[in-house]
Amino acid sequence: MKGGAVIEQLALVRSACFDKTGTLTQGRPELVEVRAAPGVEEHDLLRLAASAEQYSSHVLADGIRRAAHERSIPLSSATRASEVATNGVTAVIEGREVVVGKPGYVAGLTPDMEPATLAPGQAAAYVAIDGRFAGALILADAARPESAEVVAWLRRHGVARIAMLTGDARATAASIAATVGIDDVHADLLPAEKVHLAAGLRPRPTMMVGDGVNDAPVLAAADIGVAMGARGATAAGDAADVVILVDSLAKVAEAVAIGRHTVRVALTAIWIGIGLSLGLMIVAMTGVIPAVGGALIQELVDLATILYALRALRGPTSGLMPSPRASSVA
């Protein structure tokens, strides 16, 4: 946690936004099917798509590259490549222009694109080769086992609104949202749209939880940005107020609990100090306590207040969910 002000904001959080991939889900999509268009070989489709995805930072790109590696498919280097953040990548592979990305991005370049039918929890990366639709790669990324419990814990502890903000397709987002218990879903978003929605979410303060380079702007725009930093998302970690150092969403609930416990202990310590000081001042007005004795007693009052405030170091003693791994919030 980057400072005392962050702890105070966590104690007051009333709205929470979650990215989907790598935050509510495990962030390790697995290729489950290669759907090649007529006249295109599945092997060639995966090989060219994975070669192009070498130049993408999207989490689905990692799943496609990993699938090609597991099938011992050699990848080729591009002579030219460019990526449109959150939308897709275009690369010239072996003299052929390969486009891999979201349906809207590929459809804008390939009018004959055919949307894929997806099962719950699946996502598709669409591929075009030399301006023609070549097929789709179907990937599945399951929800984290702790995601539903984190969402339920936040609701039980006064977070009035919980939303999902994701750039993924609505059908995929809705499936994961239903699994984890979120009914406020905003899908097909660009980074700028995420920032706008997070800034307008009510009631405040708002906490945004995400990972990856594309989440850095919205983490910075939220009242409290929480980055899942276990996988080295440096940009997101730099922009966030809280960084989770292990791959567990349960630490989000623990961070909120720590904030509330710390503020509660601090306020109690303040009132203890004020109460003791007022009581001793009234007694001192009778002349019973000499000046030197009063000064020493005031030091004891300060010491008692400090010792009580140290209870914050123990952390919250109840209400936390078990984490799948021993870890810490930094």
Cα separation, 285 vs 270, in Å, equals: 23
Tokens of 104: 């809207």
Q: What is the dihedral of CA 223, 229, 232, 234, to 10 degrees?
A: 20
Own/partner pairs, 322-326, CB within 8 angstroms, 24+ separation: 322/250, 323/146, 323/246, 323/248, 323/250, 323/251, 323/254, 324/145, 324/146, 324/248, 324/250, 325/246, 325/247, 325/248
What is the distance between the alpha carbons of residues 97 and 119, in angstroms, rounded to a whole number? Answer: 30
Give the closest residue to 106 by CA, choosing from 126, 81, 123: 126
Write the single-letter amino acid at 27. G
> Do the strands 184-186 and 78-84 form a parallel or antiparallel pair, or are they unpaired?
unpaired
Query: 19 catalytic, yes or no?
Result: yes
Token pair 């400072």: residue: 3
Q: Which sign does the torsion angle of CA 160, 318, 11, 3 carry?
A: negative
Catalytically annotated residue among 19, 168, 241, 247: 19
Sign, CA dihedral 135-166-325-250, equals negative
What phi and psi, each to the nearest 5 degrees, are found at residue 313? -70, -25
- 308, 272 contact by CB (below 8 A): yes
Residues labelled catalytic: 19
